[in-house]
Structure 1
Amino acid sequence: MVGATGARSGGDGGLSGAAPCPGLTGYTCATLTVPLDHGGGDPGRLGLKVAMADNVTAPKGVLLFLTGGPGQPGVPFVERLSQKMAPVLKDYRLVMIDQRGTGGGALQCPRLQEEMGSSDLTPPTVRAVTECAAALGPRRRFYGTADTVADLELLRQALGVRRMTLDGVSYGTYTAERYALAHPGNVARLVLDSVVPQTGGDPMDRVALRAAPRVLTEACRATGCTTDPAADLAEVVRRYRNGPDVIDALTTWEFVDPDYTEMIGALHEAATGDPALLRALIAGAREGGAASAEELSQGLHAATLCLDGRFPWGSSDAPVAGRRGHWRGRPRT
């Protein structure tokens, strides 16, 4: 059945509970019901929150905006995006969804969440990871990108549209690409911002590690600094053994100061024996990256990356005992 929101209701893939979004004029919120296991082997249902603009007859149809992470919800960003995209939304009907495992249905891993916040790169403790795995249990295998793609197809059907425009940012681009590959006839347009490619990804992020000296050197040249940040970076990592903390802070710092002025100075001070400023910047980046599971679920982040990723030792099903040998290039039996 298609209701006033232009959506089918009832059953798996149906939208229910449609009502005006609280505090948001011109949008209707509802719940999309999807199976936990799209393969049908395991019982269970998930309710995913959806926000839909009320301009059902928008001339260019639905624009489904996909947030990043993995782990970010969608609905909390509707107000901000509707303001930034106002000129475009005269022609499109903006729709956003809290993907499975995010927002009000966030996967909860308290220790992992506390240790990582919104970071992709902070190395968690073994205890945080094992506690998260135990808390999620076997259901963690239903939180890969393929599961989200299947949810989005049910959303399209529930909206009663033949095709959608998908707009993704960061991990959202990966999800949009996967949807387009799975359902090419159902995609009107793709808009990709900060693209995550389908192939060639490195779970160890060695591309970023190799790029850091070059980026810092170019930033130094652009601002006229007089130090050698590449040499300072190498000395800092050698002396303090804090490579993961530094690359995490550098990744965050690009949003704070794209010229890296303060970070370059801190690296030089640390390289010459005074790490106080660098440690303060690292701590500040971590503190500023604090986030609740509802803001960015690290449980979902871990589950998705483990399911999607291909590692030197194989998939996430590979026995833990032999992984170190594979990473070192010496497979163990």
Structure 2
Amino acid sequence: MTRYRAHGVTVVEHTLELPLDRAQARRGTIPVFARELIADGGEGRPYLVYLQGGPGSPSPRQGNPNDGWIGRALKDFRVLLLDQRGTGRSNPLDQLTLSAFDTDAQRAEYLTHFRADSIVADAEDFRAELGSAPWYVLGQSYGGFCATTYLSFAPDGLAGVYITGGLPGVGRSLDDVYRATYRQTIARTRTYLERYPDAELIEQIARHLEGAEEFLPTGERLSERRFRTLGMGLGTQTAFDALHFLLEDPFVTVRGTRRLSMPFLTRVGDQLSFAARPLYALMHETIYGDGPGTATAWAAARIREEFADELVLTGEHIYPWQFEEDPALIPLQGTAEILAAKDDWSPLYDEAALAKGDVPVTAAVYAEDMFVPTEYSLALADLLGARVWLTNEYQHDGLRASGGKVLDRLISLARQ
């Protein structure tokens, strides 16, 4: 444990050695890290455990913890920023660390222990280590999925739950989830193109990439289909407008030949590479593997065909061909194929337990959420008996983009 002061806040860093597989202790342990933040006078406050979106992303590394939603949380809580296993300082998994396994099958089996059920068990181990009474959880996006797993299998550890943009479609087929997200991606793209006159430019770039060889700074050819995945940022407030500036002035002429400029290719490469978080690409569809008989089978790629004539850009969707084109993912292609074919997943949710409504749940549901279908979120909120703030004031990243206003609204709503 390391303890220090930063910006008037006490910071305590914890690392626990926790079982990789709680069903087989002989498989050993992995380090799991959490950073605790305590405002002056806040030592007696209850804990708020933050579960980050993703999967595959660590908890925030925020320079001044008094800012944004963390600063708002510190007024009422001690904040515990948990690096979910496989991320940050919790046994990080990437192309290099996963190369320690000899086969794709070994890698895939190992990754089955890095889903929401294991993350929840880690949180409960931290609660026991810290001697905390039932505590509060804040789940953003995928973190809300994890919070729903927490409510399913360890509700006794919870005093209350806040969820922002992360109420999953419990009981819904993955195919239907992706149909809903594609429809919302099309709608969000339409909103973007109403604001910015970029439709023809996007198609010019796409046509150019179909006929010309353009290479990213990392060495691989940029394909038309990969270029179209730049739409992921349209689902957030912080990246929506940035796409317009990324796209501006992409062409140069070299010896009479039209080419994409190096600054443009560099910006695009930075956006499209999964080098910093390959776990997201590997595990994204596995978060919908809720119990036996639910092979994900590259659902985003299958369902995309139903919307092929309407899609200009794609959103939070992972495709098998990305493991052929992204240098950070190519060594993991076989592992991804095994995970996509797996059909004996452990359950992530218990609808009967969720329906009991023993734990107070307060949720922000974004009316135009491009990543988590609004109609399914509202259905789960009804099952949970949750207090809901349905809003179109913010997009999927409202927790961060609002500077603490979203969390403040949920804390106030929970107290009513």
Tell me whether the two structures share a fold, i.e. TM-score over 0.5: yes
Which stretch has the larger CA shift, 99-108 or 213-222?
213-222
Correspondence 1:256 to 2:239 = yes
Does 2:132 align with 1:161?
yes
Q: Secondary structure at the match of 2:233?
A: helix
Give how far 1:264 is off: 7.9
Q: Secondary structure at the match of 1:157?
A: helix
Q: Tell whether the 8 Å contact from 1:164 to 1:186 is kept in structure 2 after alignment.
A: yes
1:108 matched to which residue of 2?
94
SS in 2 for 1:49: strand
Q: 1:135 to 1:280 in 2, by over 3 A?
A: farther
Query: In the aligned structure 1, how far is the partner of 2:297 from the partner of 2:57?
Result: 28
2:37 to 53, 56, 81: 53
The CA RMSD over aligned residues, in Å, is 4.4
Contact 2:285 2:296 in 1 (8 A): no
Give the secondary structure class of the aligned counterpart of 1:316: helix
- Structure 2 distance, partners of 1:80, 1:149, is 27
Equivalent position of 1:193 in the other structure: 164
* Match among 260, 272, 282 for residue 302 of structure 1: 282
Aligned with 2:36: secondary structure? Answer: strand
Identity over aligned pairs, percent: 18
The structure-2 alpha-carbon separation of the partners of 1:243 and 1:175, relative to structure 1 and needing over 3 Å to count, comes to: farther
**Deviation for aligned residue 1:183:** 2.1
Q: Which amino acid aligns with 2:267?
A: G
Specify the SS of the correspondent of 2:149: helix
Q: 1:317 to 1:137 in 2, by over 3 A?
A: closer
Q: What is the rounded CA distance, in whole Å, between the counterparts of 2:232 and 2:66 in structure 1?
A: 27
| Alpha-carbon offset, residue 106 of structure 1 | 0.5
For 1:282 and 1:249, the matched residues in 2 are separated by 12
Deviation for aligned residue 1:235? 11
The CA deviation string for residues 149-202 of structure 1, in whole angstroms up to 9 with x for no partner, is: 111111122222221111122211211221122222322222222325143364
Counterparts of 1:286 and 1:217, CA distance in 2: 24
Give the secondary-structure state (helix, strand or coil) at the position aligned to 1:91: coil
2-side partners of 1:189 and 1:281: how far apart?
46
- Partners in 1 of 2:209 and 2:111 — Cα distance? 39
* 2:84 is the alignment partner of 1:99: yes
Q: Counterpart of 1:240? A: 210
State the SS of the aligned residue for 1:63. Answer: strand
Deviations 1:248-267 (A, max 9, x none): 21113554343854578789
**CA 1:81–1:245 in structure 2 vs 1: closer, same or farther (change >3 Å)?**
farther
Secondary structure at 1:26 match in 2: strand
CA distance in 2, matches of 1:190, 1:19: 28
The range that moved more, 304-313 or 164-173, is 304-313
Name the structure 2 match of 1:71: 56
Distance 1:210 1:279 in 2: 33
The range that moved more, 203-212 or 248-257, is: 203-212
Contact 2:174 2:288 in 1 (8 A): no
**1:26-59 Cα deviation digits (max 9, x unpaired):** 011121221111113543012211222343301x
Question: Secondary structure of 1:152's partner?
Answer: helix
CA distance in 2, matches of 1:317, 1:214: 28
1:29: which partner in 2?
Answer: 13
1:275, CA displacement in angstroms?
A: 8.7
1:90 CA drift (Å)? 2.2
What residue is the counterpart of 1:220 in the other structure?
193
Equivalenced residue count is: 274
- The question of 1:285 aligning with 2:299 is answered no
TM superposition shift of 1:86 = 2.0
- Can you list the C-alpha shifts for 1:35-90, whole angstroms capped at 9, x where unaligned? 111113543012211222343301xx10101112211222x525455432324312
For 1:68 and 1:52, how far apart are their aligned partners in 2? Answer: 18
Alpha-carbon distance in structure 2 between the residues aligned to 1:175 and 1:169: 9
Match of 1:142 among 95, 98, 113: 113
Alignment TM-score, normalising by the size of structure 2 = 0.53
Conservation of the 8 A alpha-carbon contact between 1:106 and 1:300: no
SS in 1 for 2:93: coil
Q: Hey, what's the Cα distance between the residues in 2 that align with 1:73 and 1:102?
A: 5
Structure 1 unmatched ranges of 5 or more: 1-17, 113-127, 268-273, 321-333
Structure 1 residue 240, shift from structure 2 partner? 3.4
Over 3 Å counting, the alpha-carbon distance change for 1:208 and 1:303 in structure 2 is: closer
Whether the 8 Å contact between 2:296 and 2:340 is mirrored in structure 1 is no
Unaligned stretches of 5+ residues in structure 2: 212-222, 251-256, 299-337, 344-416
The 2-side partners of 1:218 and 1:304 are apart by: 26
